[in-house]
Amino acid sequence: MSKKLGFRKALETKVKKSQVAAKKKAISIFTAMSVAHVDEEEAGSGEVRQVEKVLPRGDFYIGEWCDGLPHGNGKYLWTDGCMYVGGWFKGKIMGKGKFCWPSGATYEGEFKSGFMDGQGTFTGFSGDSYKGSWVMNLKHGQGIKNYFNGDYYEGEWRTGFQEGEGRYQWTNGIHYDGQWKNGLMNGNGRMEWSDGNSYEGCWEDGFPKGNGTFRWPDGSSYVGVWSKDVKEMNGTYNPSDSSTEKPDWDPQVVFSEYLKECKICPGEKMSILPSKKVPHWPGMGKGNDQGRPRRMSDGKLNCHSFSSDMHDVSAITEGDSKEDDDGIESLCLEDSTSRGSLPHFKTPTKRQGQTISKGHKNYELMLNLQLGIRHSVGRPGPVISLDLKSSAFDPKEKVWTKFPPEGSKHTPPHQSSDFRWKDYCPLVFRTLRKLFDVDAADYMISICGDDALRELSSPGKSGSFFYLTNDDKYMIKTIKKAEVKVLLRMLPAYYNHVRSFENTLVTKFYGLHSVKLTGTAQKKVRFVIMGNLLCTHYTIHRRFDLKGSSHGRTTSKPESEIDPSTTLKDLDLNYLFRLEKTWFEEFCRQVDRDCDLLEQERIMDYSLLVGFHFREVPTPLASGAVTPTGNADHENEEVPRLSQTGQDQLDSEPSGGSSIRLGISMPARIEKTVRKPECETQLIGEPTGVFYDVILFFGIIDILQDYDITKKLEHAYKSMQYDPTSISAVDPKQYSKRFRDFILKIFVEDT
């Protein structure tokens, strides 16, 4: 332990010394250099020139320059000692280049919009190095990592973690070959120790879990079910031909001793990432010269707007940011029909929904629901195994519980009226919560804590009501008896599907229950608990509910009432979604898998819910006008910018705790589209070449609509009035084909 502390202190001392030296070097460069300012008015439009510029905060740029922005090859020096040498494109770090930290760490490789993206090599000050594929500052794809403590990993990465197939070699000679997930051994794999002993089998969260075999060099083995919990573990010892007696050996020693020296090294953290250092140049859009130095009548340069509007992100990290995403009064986006008309969408000042407090018509229902959930989740049960018996899925598998106001042997006294509570297939949903990594205590606190639920302002088209937990993690939806039957019918196939495909986009179900009031009312309310797809600390600026049909698929609200909480539809969509290659390929595979499941279960009328957060927001000038700060090329184009909270998460250490998954917190680009005025039912507009960087969320929702007699009659009736291909109520096979064809046209690979 003392050796590790000593090593860490030595590293810190080395970093401090190198930072001081780097700052002194930067100061000497700036003070000794004679800089010739460039008269922008003398430079022709589109002409690339060589310039040397000292910038308002003391940073320095030397290199190629075009239309008021770095463009071509150039070097940028920051006053804190950071340096970038390489390609630029319209003011953004782009192409091949090298970024150096004052500590001595370097990254050399490909960049996109300031992010380490593509093939590149990071070399840390402590001896860490990574060579391989990057996406948005995160290790993603094939890569090789050498750790400062001598450990080594070669294999697949996903969003900053070891994930997929890979080999990890420890300095003490132990090595593991197999599957990984979230930076831990997970799946099938083999570990071999330096003394020749080995374990081959299933792993979970870095430990043997499930079927596996431990072998000794002499050929003897222990075969069985492995678990850290002694009660779950059992197996058989098989002696070799040369050994006849069972050794005095406890398989639990593998967990307590053998794996003690097999910790995954956390790796070196970067103090700051290149994407956080890229300056926001003035006049990023064509035709916008508000941020350039202007020549006054006396011949002097007026650099007021240049210095007041331009700042690099290093200043933000020091607490100088004056903007907060939640404080933005409006978000301006270009109208799809008129380039000069910019509608203003107000950012909601309060959270969605009405708090269900005492006096609300559904106050008692909320109390009943919370009492029932607390009872169901807190009730002791058997050890959960992911291999469920068919009897657990039987629709008759229900548990009724009476909740008298005075309490009973199993239920507490309460202030609500007498009611009965029903759990449908409780073991299945308990196992699903484990499969979805939902902690029972957190689940109860979210739904049954001191904070009241919130009821969304209006029921959905089906007449169902929606309730949100105070932390926005879970959504509770009232459903009809027919929908309960559909969910119970498809539950075995749904369970096997979500267990097989961890990246499934279908709704996550956590519980199915009902409340029945006793007495004269005899009211029965059935509801399902689901994950809230758009639960995030990012502000969701746009949300779309997409089906691939056109009839009635536009919002009924006037434009003045549309805000970020409005769910827009197919004919409102004016973007294409561009995903990085590996994510796009996985997305295509998963859409096919999910649609196959829904088609087989005779489900239709489902949607892809898409929400996104613009990574940039408009910057107000002193005059109250708004100037572009992003990468748009169009005159007066307003580009949103990422809030500080979002920037901090996105630019976190690549090997640190990123939560990016398929459909969750995905960095992506969207491209503006415009529909032809004469084509009112055109589903997909024409690309404009205008791009925005976003954080993307998406998933398949409303998957409980059976193609029953009602929907068949609706299809027959509407087909006589409208184009049959434009309506939502169609046969599940036709619906599935139309849905995936549409989705795979609006989601494309980002090239």
Tell me the per-residue pLDDT of 538-576, one tens digit each, with 9 for 90 and over. Answer: 888 999 999 887 766 778 777 777 778 888 888 888 899
Examine the domain organization and report whether 106 and 232 are in the same domain: no
The reply to whether 79 and 193 lie within a common domain is no
Find all residues with CB under 8 Å of 431, minimum gap 6, and list them: 384, 385, 386, 388, 392, 495
pLDDT value at residue 340: 33
* Alpha-carbon dihedral sign for residues 493, 499, 505, 511: positive
3-state secondary structure 213-258: EEECCCCCEEEEEECCCHHHCEEEEECCCCCCCCCCCCCCHHHHHH
Task: Please tell me whether residues 602 and 527 are part of one structural domain.
Answer: no
Q: What is the pLDDT of residue 37?
A: 44
* Segments forming the whole domain that contains residue 58: 51-147
In a domain, 299, yes or no: no
The verdict on 84 and 232 lying in the same domain is: no
- Number of structural domains found in the chain: 4
Taking only the tens place, the pLDDT of each residue in 572-620 is: 888 999 998 889 999 999 999 999 999 999 998 899 999 999 886 433 3
What CATH number did the domain enclosing 517 receive?
3.30.800.10
Domain termination residue (choose one: 532, 562, 597): 532
Structural domain contains residue 514: yes
Query: CA 226, CA 232: separation in Å to the nearest integer?
Result: 7
Domain boundary among 147, 172, 205: 147
**What's the gap between Cα 612 and its chain centre?**
10
The pLDDT, as a whole number, for residue 526 is 92
State residue 498's pLDDT score: 94
Is 513 in the same domain as 394?
Answer: yes
Evaluate whether residue 727 is within a structural domain.
yes
Task: State the CATH number of the domain containing residue 66.
Answer: 2.20.110.10
User: CB of 626 within 8 A of CB of 636?
Assistant: no
Q: How many CB atoms lie within 10 A of CB 144?
A: 15
Q: How far apart are CA 417 and CA 456, in angstroms?
A: 24
C-alpha–C-alpha distance, residues 31 and 39, integer Å = 22
- Domain-located, residue 624: no
Contact predicate 515/368, CB 8 Å: yes
Write down the residue that tokens 């009432």 correspond to. 561
**Do residue 188 and residue 104 come from a single domain?**
no
Q: Is residue 637 part of a domain?
A: no
Q: What is the pLDDT of residue 701?
A: 93
Predicted local confidence at residue 564, as pLDDT: 80
Query: Phi first, then psi: what are they for 242, rounded to 5°?
Result: -90, -15
Whether 498 and 581 share a structural domain:
no
Give yes or no: residues 593 and 492 share one domain. Answer: no
Q: How far is CA 81 from CA 13, 24, 317, 319, in A?
A: 17, 8, 15, 19
Q: Which residues of the chain have pLDDT under 50?
A: 1-5, 7, 15, 22-23, 25-42, 284-345, 349, 617-658, 715
Are 710 and 601 found together in one domain? yes
Cα 427 to Cα 594: distance, rounded to the nearest angstrom: 24
Sequential DSSP letters for 468-493? E-TTSSEEEEEE-HHHHHHHHHHHHH
User: What one-letter code names the amino acid at 673?
Assistant: T
- Which of 532, 562, 577 is where one domain is finished? 532
Residues 579, 514, single domain; the answer is no
- Residues 199, 116: one domain? no
